[in-house]
Structure formats: C-alpha cells, structure tokens
C-alpha cells in the first residue's frame, strides 16, 4: 500500500480468502486510498465481516463475494474491476512489492539473537504454503544477505505444507513436475491454503528442490487434533495453517527431513481469533 501510494495509485484490488483482503482494506483506508476485495462466500466470518463493515462505511472499500475459491475471486476482479483502472495487488501480479514485504520473514530468521552475535539461518523452515509469496520473499532476503557478506551460501531445507484437500504443490513435487497444474478446490479448515493453483508455484518448486526440502500434505483431522492440543497444552491461539505445519512434523522426522540437533522453525501465520465461529468446538 505504501508503494502504491508513492507511485500515485489510488484504487487497489485484491482477491483473497484470508488476511490479505482484511489487511489491504485497513491500510488503504488509513492511507486515503480506495480498495476493492473479492473473496469466497465461505471466508471465515471475522475476516469477511471486517471487510464488509469497512465497505458499509463510505466509499473507500468495495466487496465482491464469489463462489468457490480465490481463483474465482481473481477472475471476478479481472472481469469487472481491472478493466476500469483498478490496480491489482494480487499475489505475483504486482511489481514484486509483496515479495519485498515478505523478505522480513527471512531477515528476522537470520538476524542475531543477541547483540553482536552472528547472522545465521536454521536448518529447516516449515511454512504453510498457498500462493508461495512468503517462500520467495525469504529466499530473496537470504540471497541479499549473502551478497552483503552477512551469511554464507548454505540455506535451510524449505518444507512447504498444504492440506490434503487442496495440495497442488505437493502433487507436483511428488510427481517431479516443474509447475503445478490447476486442481479442483477442496474443503479445508485452513482457508489460506485453499489455493488450487498459483502463478509463482514453479519458483516455489525450484526453491524446495534447490534447498533439499520437501512438500507435504496433512489431513483435516491432523490439523484439528493439533489445534486442540496446542490450545490445551500451551494456551496458544494458532491458526489452522500453523497447525498444519505442526501436524507435519512427525512425518518429516520419519522421512529424515528433520533429525536430532536440527534447528527447526515452524511458521504460524495468523490467529485462531479469525476462525473462531468455525473452530470454537475444537477448544
């Protein structure tokens, strides 16, 4: 949003079924810009409701509801809004600003834990992957840190986690394909992972293979179990996407992707608060 404003853009559009639409609206309103969001009708109510509330308050925010997934939401924007001059900030359809923002993930992983300490990276990164912007952002950050002489050439093994309900990356990885093929969307607790195909998936697959990593899918039951266990044992409100990553750890250990003594970072990308109407029964 800051970059769009700097370049004189005033009308932004994004398809979403998660935090991107909510965040875009909040920041656009604060920046004095306009935003339109297209999202599936079954988007978690706290996310959809916040965008709807902003859409009711003046003309700064517009909301389009579509059937099925983020793919159809993107098509709706291309049909109606982009031809009218709205600027798409969808994943991999803007000038790379979102990747630049996601570099923060990689920078914070690498920075010294103590003042004066050395920059370093973990052995394994386990990341819930829908479109894959975060994976590309981290990889770019580490390349730049290496150019600055702050880290060496070694990289973490990148593990991308998806739901078995919608797992195009996992299928492509297991079949040795260079890119994903669009799949039918499934039904999953992890709305942020319900991405049946991605423009940047070919690059995500390259990074997984270059790093010696993997792509793995977990079941809905495994996600549910992990959400309940983490709340019961830790009192943490992690999101289903984060729970998917935790649920993948036993299989990754069995496969030898994770071993004793490894430094492993598991990403949780949101709060359970935004999913409570659907998932309260798991607590």
Residue 60 has pLDDT above 90, yes or no: yes
For residue 259, what pLDDT is reported?
A: 96
How far apart CA 255 and CA 22 sit, in angstroms, is: 37
Please write the tens of the pLDDT for every residue from 232-244: 999 999 999 999 9
For residue 155, what pLDDT is reported?
A: 99
Maximum alpha-carbon separation in the chain: 56
pLDDT band at 184 (very low <50, low <70, confident <90, very high): confident
Q: Return the closest-CA partner of residue 240 out of 186, 276, 264.
A: 276
Q: What percent of the chain has pLDDT over 90?
A: 82
How far apart CA 206 and CA 202 sit, in angstroms, is: 6
Q: What percent of the chain has pLDDT over 70?
A: 100
Bigger pLDDT: 124 vs 283 = 124
For residue 64, what pLDDT is reported?
A: 94
What is the arithmetic mean of pLDDT over 117-128?
98
Q: What structural domains and CATH numbers belong to the chain?
A: 2-88 (3.40.50.1100), 98-282 (3.40.50.1100)
pLDDT band at 39 (very low <50, low <70, confident <90, very high): very high
End-to-end CA distance of the chain: 36
Judged by average pLDDT, the poorest of 127-131, 193-197, 263-267 is 193-197
Residue 80 has pLDDT above 80, yes or no: yes
Please write the tens of the pLDDT for every residue from 139-158: 999 999 999 999 999 999 99
How many Cβ atoms are within 10 Å of 41's Cβ, its own excluded?
Answer: 10
Helix (H) or strand (E) holding 161: strand 157-163
What is the arithmetic mean of pLDDT over 219-241?
96
How far apart CA 198 and CA 169 sit, in angstroms, is: 9
Read off the pTM. 0.93
Whole-number average pLDDT of the chain: 95
pLDDT band at 58 (very low <50, low <70, confident <90, very high): confident
């Amino acid at each position: 949003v800051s970059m769009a404003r700097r370049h004189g853009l005033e009308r932004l559009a994004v398809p979403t079924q998660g935090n991107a639409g909510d965040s875009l609206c909040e920041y656009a309103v604060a920046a004095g810009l306009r935003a339109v969001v297209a999202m599936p009708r079954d988007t978690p109510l706290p996310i959809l409701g916040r965008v709807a509330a902003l859409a009711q308050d003046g003309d700064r925010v517009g909301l389009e509801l579509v059937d099925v997934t983020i793919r159809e939401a993107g098509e709706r924007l291309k049909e109606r809004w982009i031809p009218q001059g709205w600027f798409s900030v969808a994943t991999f359809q803007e000038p790379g600003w979102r990747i630049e923002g996601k570099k923060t993930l990689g920078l914070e992983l690498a920075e010294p834990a103590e003042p004066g300490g050395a920059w370093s990276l973990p052995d394994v990164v386990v990341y819930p992957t829908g479109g894959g912007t975060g994976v590309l952002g981290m990889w770019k950050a580490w390349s730049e840190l290496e150019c600055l002489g702050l880290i060496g050439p070694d990289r973490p093994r990148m593990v991308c986690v998806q739901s078995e309900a919608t797992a195009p990356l996992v299928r492509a990885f297991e079949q040795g394909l260079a890119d994903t093929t669009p799949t039918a969307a499934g039904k999953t607790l992890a709305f942020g992972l319900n991405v049946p195909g991605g423009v940047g998936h070919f690059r995500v697959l390259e990074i997984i293979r270059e790093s010696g990593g993997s792509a793995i899918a977990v079941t809905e039951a495994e996600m549910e179990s992990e959400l309940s266990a983490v709340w019961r044992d830790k009192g943490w409100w992690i999101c289903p996407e984060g729970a998917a990553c935790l649920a993948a750890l036993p299989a990754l250990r069995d496969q030898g992707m994770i071993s004793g003594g490894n430094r492993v970072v598991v990403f949780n990308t949101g709060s359970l608060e935004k999913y409570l109407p659907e998932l309260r029964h798991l607590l």
